Amino acid sequence: MINLNGNPLIRPDLRRAAAAAGVAAVLLVLLAAFGSPQSANLTQKLLAFGGALGFVVAMAISVRSAANEVARVAAVRAGPGTASGLRLGLTVVGYLLTGVVALTVLRVPIEKLLLSGAITGVVIGIAAQQALANLFAGLVLLTSRPFQIGQSIVLRSGALGGEYSGRVIGIGLAYTEILTEDGPYSLPNAGVLAAAVGPRQARRPLQATTAPMTTTNDPTTAQIG
């Protein structure tokens, strides 16, 4: 769980991530200098596989701690839903990179695997172009912060179908939620990023006006002028 009640200046996850990354870097240097997974020497083989295992463990700790720290900051700025999504995405990407580096150090041929993965990634990217556009737009909104949760804004965009005026209640990785007078709306982040955004002006209350009363010669009738 993300602790939001602690002192924001104390970031144990960030320190743990940096320390674990330093250990992983040292193990990587030692592996390159002394380890040889294809050597006939048993000691060099054990050093290679043991060092690779230690590298994976250290990087797993570093990735998890860094993802927790990013999620802690995102939970304050964008809400717990966005924080959970960011933590999951960073963890998956970090673990994949760790696996690729470990296989490279052990000299496992991964060229064919990377080629097939690249082709699959291109196909998935084309199929999920709109989803990826919303994802990257959400990351831009979270970092640039043109508006914040709880702020009353006005969005004007032809792509979104006109104007939306209301209070921001959530900024996710795919959608931005706005509470309007007609109810909540979930707007795609790509459209929100391209929209014109401004603060919502408070409406002036209607003031009752009294029309002057004029009388005619007939005392039984009155006209409103």
Residue 216 confidence (pLDDT) above 80: no
Residue 110: pLDDT band by 50, 70, 90 thresholds? low
Residue 6: pLDDT band by 50, 70, 90 thresholds? very low
| Partner residues linked to 156 by β-bridges | 163, 196
| Average pLDDT, integer, range 213-217 | 51
38 & 87 share domain? yes
Residue 57 confidence (pLDDT) above 50: yes
How far apart are alpha carbons 30 and 93 in whole angstroms? 25
Residue 221: pLDDT band by 50, 70, 90 thresholds? very low
Strand ranges, E, within 3-64:
none
66 & 151 share domain? no
| Average pLDDT, integer, range 189-216 | 67
Question: Residue 216, Cβ neighbours under 10 Å: how many?
Answer: 9
Q: Which residues does 111 contact at the CB level (< 8 Å), separation at least 6?
A: none
Domain for residue 117, yes or no? no
- Quote the domain boundaries for residue 191: 146-199
- Whether residue 213 contacts residue 199, with contact meaning beta carbons closer than 8 Å, is answered with no
21 & 99 share domain? yes
pLDDT tens sequence across 127-180: 677 888 888 888 888 778 888 888 899 989 888 888 899 998 888 778 888 999
- Whether residue 191 contacts residue 159, with contact meaning beta carbons closer than 8 Å, is answered with yes
Picking from 76, 192, 74, the residue whose alpha carbon sits closest to that of residue 134 is 192
Residue 16 confidence (pLDDT) above 60: yes
103 & 153 share domain? no
CATH number at residue 161: 2.30.30.60
Collapsing DSSP to helix, strand or coil, 159 comes out as coil
- The whole-number pLDDT of residue 167 equals 92
Average pLDDT value over all residues in the chain: 77
Number of independent structural domains in the chain: 2
92 & 176 share domain? no
Report the predicted TM-score, pTM, of the whole model to 2 decimal places. 0.54
93 & 168 share domain? no
